[in-house]
Structure 1
Amino acid sequence: MAPGRGPRRGRAGTSVAVAVGGLTLSAVLLVQTVLSAAAPVRPPSDGDRGAERGPGAARAAPAAERETCADGSDPAESLRPSAEAGPAVRRIQRAGRLVVGVDQNSYLWGYRDPSTGGITGFDIDLVKAVAEDLLGDDPEIVYKTIPTDQRIPAVRRREVDMVVRTMSITCERRRQVAFSTAYFEAGQQILVPKSSPVTGFDGTLRGKRLCTAAGSTAQTLLEEDDGGALPVYVGNQLDCLVLLQLGEVDAVMTDSALAAGQAAQDPSVHLVGEPLTVEPYGIAMHLEDEDLVRRVNKVLEDYRRGGGDSPWMASYERWLADKMETAEPAPPAPAYRDR
């Protein structure tokens, strides 16, 4: 989001500020996180918000189900792995660098470490594994930080070779970009202050300002059925956490995996309710770059291999093990098309 610009208005016309006293969102986040223990965020009163939606509570959240495409296929099915170097792989090797769209605001996944200035996290470990396979030891990686709603345009315009940015594989997105096999699974869930009366995506959200990132799967869900909440759309999920801390929104809808990082940043917030979806994360590439998709899938085969000693598990232990409630963490099994 550009400095000084407000988030997109929800259907009910909700609008909030995104900067306070000239501070950037990142600066506000740091200040609010430090202060949160002493001054926890209190949800504002409902007032007259949501009155136009009529009486009655919102329906209970449905059980999470994996998406199935219109042709009956699993959106997470991808091309079979191959180590062959086709046109896309050779293009990257000739350039001598891998250009990757990433996040710099998602703690634990892709974020800028203030102690080093570098971008790091679970997604970034995977980027490095792909780059080493394509370019050898100590590869040159160009990180391009992009907002949520620019992930697909960046791939389609070939501004990046791929996007590795907690990107859910969906039927709609699969028509626009190619995906690797899944490397993680999450689901849309509600994040609120611990003092909030909201208990999930249910009647307790009616009339509440519910924040999510524009271009996310959460926005798609809310456009289909907002359950009586007042949607607020912003550039990145981190913006939602800042607005929640400032009391400008009442709740956040985001991937449970991203929410775990936000809760780690601010212990005054927590997840409530059950996940609404089952969403596999994949690496997005251009539809024409089939050889690159196959090569990335070969990297992912190696990345998963080894069970508890796999590179995937080592990255999980480093970033996520003490932040996510997963009894037996493991990467999702790959799904391949017939061809």
Structure 2
Amino acid sequence: MRGGGTMNAQRLPRSPRTGLQVLRTGLRALRTGLRGWGGVGAMAAVCALAVTFALLLPLTQSHGDGSTGTGGQGVARGIQAKVAAECENPQDQSPQPSSLDGKTIEAIKARKDPRLIVGVDQNSYRWGYRDPNGGKTAELEGFDIDLVHRIAKDILGDENAVKFKAIPTNQRIPALKDGRVDMIVRTMTITCDRVKEVAFSAPYFLTGQQVLAPKSSTIKGYDKTLAGKRICSGAGSTALELLRKDRAAKKAGVASADIETVVPSQLDCLVRLQLGQVDAVVTDSALAASQAAQDPTVELKGEAFTTDYYGVAVKKGANDLAARVNRILEQYRQDGGWQASYDKWLSPTLGTKSESAKPPVPRYK
């Protein structure tokens, strides 16, 4: 709750009281917490929560078996469900842009080797990869890599003050938590589950999940034509989470599909597809388009069936770094840097009329 009052489920009565006693106690605590809100607002909140408590009364009753009942746990579950439901737009939870140096940025600048340590991909064509014709000295390049250089230039004054670390899909969050990297710039989708573990910048790219399959395949998209097919996805990816969710919900096609092929890198899915070990790949449309550009025998099937956003991920609590990145992204959009990078790397595969061809409009918490 915003304003003056907060509710702590652990303080609600858990002894074998009657539901009416729990309701009265909860409302007394609420009235105390709401002081200073103003008469009309407080009364409205009290009435609304009175209804909520009334609906939860069955959970506060004793089972009559001598146990202490499940009142506290029931109310806690209700509050947790409400919190979960509030995460409808995780891409809008980033802090307001700021050009200030906070403690995270100061710590980076204070290093003996003051470079930005960034987790990236080195196998995603046009996003983060090494030019196969570049020889042993080939540098990482791509849309994500351009963004990293821009961030380093703003924070450290040198676009090359970067230490790149190749991080597999399923190691992105652990790498941040363990302090192995300062940030992840690796086609990382902002999701409700992930914002619980790491912090994100505002979105820097709009995408969606899509199916990639051989041109000769009978698969038409994310639908019943996937029935009985072998599907590959990346470990720790949004695609895998979605496949498991839809499998459990018995969604047409996915319900009978084989989704057990899970690989560390999205490029491994393309290799499995080329070897005939799987029939389709589910991944972000932007990555799928890049993989189709690498292999003319495969293509995107159907339309993107979700709306997803990529964000720069930083360690939980590093809000100063997230806010600074948001400021950099604002400038990157305004001065044409974002568009120039898109035109160079992604326009050949995604086109100029795609929804992804323009930077998403940011919203902050």
Q: TM-score, normalised by structure 2?
A: 0.71
User: How far apart, CA to CA, are the structure 1 residues paired with 2:307 and 2:363?
Assistant: 15
Which consecutive residues of structure 2, in runs of 5 or more, have no partner in the other structure?
1-82, 248-253
| Matches of 1:137 and 1:203, distance apart in 2 | 51
Shift in Å at residue 69 of structure 1? Answer: 5.8
Structure 2 letter corresponding to 1:71:
E
Query: CA offsets per residue over residues 47-90 of structure 1, 9 Å max, x none?
Result: xxxxxxxxxxxxxxxxxxxxx96215520121001011010011
1:316 to 315, 339, 342: 342
CA apart distance, 1:287: 1.1
Asked whether the equivalents of residues 332 and 338 of structure 2 are also in contact (C-alpha less than 8 Å), the reply is: yes
The residue that corresponds to 1:205 in the other structure is 226
C-alpha contact 2:220 2:301 (8 A) present in aligned 1: yes
* Number of residue pairs aligned between Structure 1 and Structure 2: 267
Q: CA shift at 1:137, angstroms?
A: 2.7
Structure 1 counterpart SS, 2:307:
strand
Q: What is the letter of the counterpart of residue 98 of structure 2?
A: S
User: Whole-Å Cα distance in 1 between the matches of residues 87 and 158 of structure 2?
Assistant: 41
Tell whether the 8 Å contact from 1:69 to 1:75 is kept in structure 2 after alignment.
Answer: no
Q: How far apart are residue 117 of structure 1 and its match? A: 2.1
How far apart in 2 are the matches of 1:97 and 1:91? Answer: 11
1:106 corresponds to which of 124, 129, 138: 124
Of residues 84, 89, 99, the one that matches 1:83 is: 99
- Residue 276 of structure 1 and its aligned partner are, at CA, apart by 1.8
Partner of 1:256: 285
Amino acid at match of 2:101: A
- Structure-2 residue corresponding to 1:7: none
| Per-residue Cα deviation, 1:218-248 (whole angstroms, up to 9, x for no partner) | 1101111231210111111000000100111
2:85 is aligned, of 52, 70, 80, to 70
Kindly report structure 1 stretches of 4+ aligned residues shifted beyond 4 Å: none
Residue 271 of structure 1 aligns to a residue in which SS?
strand
| Whole-Å separation in 1 of the counterparts to 2:225 and 2:361 | 36
Higher mean Cα deviation, 208-217 or 321-330? 321-330
Q: How does 1:269-308 map to 2 (within 5 A)?
A: 269-306=298-335
Residue type matched to 1:241 in 2? L
Residue 161, structure 1, aligned to residue 147, structure 2: no
Aligned counterparts, 1:1-339, within 5 A: 70-71=85-86, 73-77=88-92, 78-95=94-111, 96-114=114-132, 115=134, 116-226=137-247, 227=254, 228-231=256-259, 232-306=261-335, 310-327=336-353, 329-337=357-365
SS at match of 1:189: strand
Amino acid of the structure 1 residue aligned with 2:344 = R
Aligned to 2:349, what secondary structure does the other structure show?
coil
Identical-pair percentage: 54
The 3-state SS of whatever aligns with 2:110 is helix
Q: Which string of whole-angstrom CA distances, capped at 9 and with x for unpartnered residues, describes residues 299-332 of structure 1?
A: 00101114xxx10000001001121045162100
In structure 2, C-alpha distance between the alignment counterparts of 1:299 and 1:146, rounded to whole Å = 23
- Specify whether residues 277 and 69 from structure 1 end up closer, same or farther in structure 2 by C-alpha distance, changes over 3 A only: farther
What amino acid maps onto 2:295 in structure 1?
D
**Structure 1: which amino acid aligns with 2:125?**
Y
Tell me the distance in 2 between the aligned counterparts of 1:137 and 1:223: 43
- Where does structure 1 lack aligned partners over 5 or more consecutive residues? 1-67
The code of the aligned residue for 1:140 comes to: A
Distance in structure 1 (CA, Å) of the matches to 2:87 and 2:210: 26
Q: Take 1:278 and 1:167, find their aligned partners in 2: how far apart are those partners?
A: 13
AA matched with 1:84 = L
Deviations 1:16-56 (A, max 9, x none): xxxxxxxxxxxxxxxxxxxxxxxxxxxxxxxxxxxxxxxxx
Q: With CA pairs under 8 Å and 6+ residues apart, which has the higher RCO, 1 or 2? A: 1
**DSSP-derived class of the 1:225 partner:** helix
Residue 275 of structure 1 and its aligned partner are, at CA, apart by: 1.2
Q: Distance in 2 between matches of 1:198 and 1:321?
A: 26
Are residues 267 and 69 of structure 1, via their aligned partners in 2, closer, same or farther at CA, if it must alter by over 3 Å?
Answer: farther
